[in-house]
Amino acid sequence: MKIITTPASEDWKELTTRPRMDQKELANLVHSIFEAVERDQDQALISYARQFDGLILEDLTVSRQEIEAAHAIVPDELKKAIATARANIEKFHQTQQLDESTTETSTGVQCWQKMLPIEKVGLYIPGGTASLFSTVLLLGIPAVLAECPEIVLCTPPDELGEINPAILYAADLLGIHQIYKVGGAQAIAAMAIGTPTVPAVHKIFGPGNQYVDMGKTMAQQMGVAVDMPAGPSEVLIVTDKTSNPVFVAADLLAQAEHGSDSQVFLVGNDRGILEEILREVSYQLEHLPRHTIATQSLANSLAVHFDSIEECFAFSNTYAPQHLIVASEYADEYIKYIKNAGAVYLGNYTAQSAADYLSGSNSILPTAGFTHTYSGLGLSSFQRSVTFQRIDKNGLQNLGKTAEILAAAEGLQGHKNAVSVRLKNLQK
């Protein structure tokens, strides 16, 4: 990473560009995958497992025996950690339940809304270079709390054709039993289209690489809802003279090790601190097991020095990061500057990775600048809001004439008549 000093605002857009594959080429490839899944169904999924991963899969479904075996394999210490994470995530998401209250907008007119679960949801759990069983909790807990009747989970198997035992254990703990050995864009296609083995769903959730993200875009075009654009992971860290270089370097590398197409930004108003952080990054990188992946990610990344903290946050708001770490003793004072971010981590001791796993809030967040318009995952992501209304005789008499005037002004005689016939009935 190199330091760029006080870049002009007109250059910020170019500086904050994410590393992306050729979008036309990517779309064509993923479209061909969707076509193959629609045409060849399960056979396409089996063929892609052979083509991409060298796997010979006889069955795409995870058996009950495999799930029970996972319970025996997962260490007790990890089971206890998963239980703690589950409790915190449940506690936070339970607070998002909306009360069903009725409002009387006029005499005799009542309106209310009811939150109903999405009936069929698909959860995508990334695999690849790391099996993210924490994503099972972050997606599965709100889906279960929302009482979605059917929950389908797809995740890529390892080189032996097996699913990480912790993923199976976490899913079973939540009562999710429809688990399939399918990864990549083909998993998104299967859940969008449906095959004899993998059921079609109404909405697809979960982060992934650029192939998965493009798959979700195509699923939307087919009329299947998705949670958000959630591609390669990213973080921006704002620093000042009170930042701890060791902590910040660790946070940068924690994000960089996600994948070679991840991106990390370091921004600060103290150049000396920035230089210290970059030296610490180089030191810690040498001791990181996922050194190669993190190195590739850092090649996509940048450090930027500004004279003022206000400029640091203006730059951050332009980038609109998935994760925003405010590594400062004055973090609370800086909140007023934050406009665009998926999740914000305040202070020197709020390690993003701890928050990712078990603080309680959800770290399934929009990427690629979509925090300008999208929110992170929550309980409502798995629900639909349905409004109800009731108008009694007094209510219709109070509002009927006004409704007739409004309908006539729009030239919709049928609308007016639907009110008029009722008013005439009441006059009789």
Q: Among residues 166, 6, 136, which one has the least CA distance to residue 70?
A: 166
Number of domains in the chain: 3
CATH number, residue 416: 1.20.5.1300
CA 39/CA 48 separation, integer angstroms: 14
The strand pair at 109-117 and 383-391 is best described as antiparallel
Domain final position from 195, 228, 261: 228
**CA gyration radius for the chain?**
25
Give the integer Cα–Cα distance in Å for 225 and 188: 11
Provide the residue-wise pLDDT of the chain in tens; the chain has 428 residues: 889 999 999 999 999 998 888 899 999 999 999 999 999 999 999 999 999 989 999 899 999 999 999 999 999 999 999 999 999 999 999 999 998 899 999 999 999 999 999 999 999 999 866 778 999 999 999 999 999 999 999 999 998 999 999 999 999 999 999 999 999 999 999 999 999 999 999 999 999 999 999 999 999 999 999 999 988 899 999 999 999 999 999 999 999 998 888 999 999 999 999 999 999 999 999 999 999 999 999 998 999 999 999 999 999 999 999 999 999 999 999 999 999 999 999 999 999 998 888 999 999 999 999 999 999 999 999 999 999 999 999 999 999 999 999 999 999 999 999 999 999 999 98
Residues 153 and 299 in one domain: no
The length of the chain, given as a count of residues: 428
In a domain, 102, yes or no: no
Q: Are residues 236 and 272 in the same domain?
A: yes
Same domain for 59 and 162, yes or no, is yes
The token duo for 291 is 């050194």
Does residue 105 lie in a domain region? no
- Both 44 and 143 in one domain: the answer is yes
- Same domain as 346, residue 198: no
User: Tens digit of pLDDT for each residue in 140-198?
Assistant: 999 999 999 999 999 999 989 999 999 999 999 999 999 999 999 999 999 999 999 99
pLDDT digits (tens, 9 = 90+) for 369-389: 999 999 999 999 999 999 999
Whether the Cβ atoms of residue 167 and residue 177 lie closer than 8 Å to each other:
no
Residue linked to tokens 């250059």: 11
Q: What is the dihedral of CA 401, 407, 411, 417, to 10 degrees?
A: -70
Q: Domain range for residue 253?
A: 232-375
| Domain harbouring 369, CATH code | 3.40.50.1980
The one-letter code for the residue type at 25 is: E
Neighbours of 298 (CB within 10 A): 21
The pTM (predicted TM-score) of the whole model is: 0.92
Whether 386 maps to a domain, the answer reads: no
Same domain, 399 and 365: no
48 and 143 housed in the same domain:
yes
Q: What single letter denotes the amino acid at residue 409?
A: A
Q: Confirm whether 103 is domain-assigned.
A: no
Same domain, 316 and 402: no
| Residue 49 sits in the same domain as residue 180 | yes
Please indicate, yes or no, whether residues 236 and 190 belong to a single structural domain of this protein: no
Q: Which two tokens stand for residue 55?
A: 């796997």
274 plus 402 within the same structural domain: no
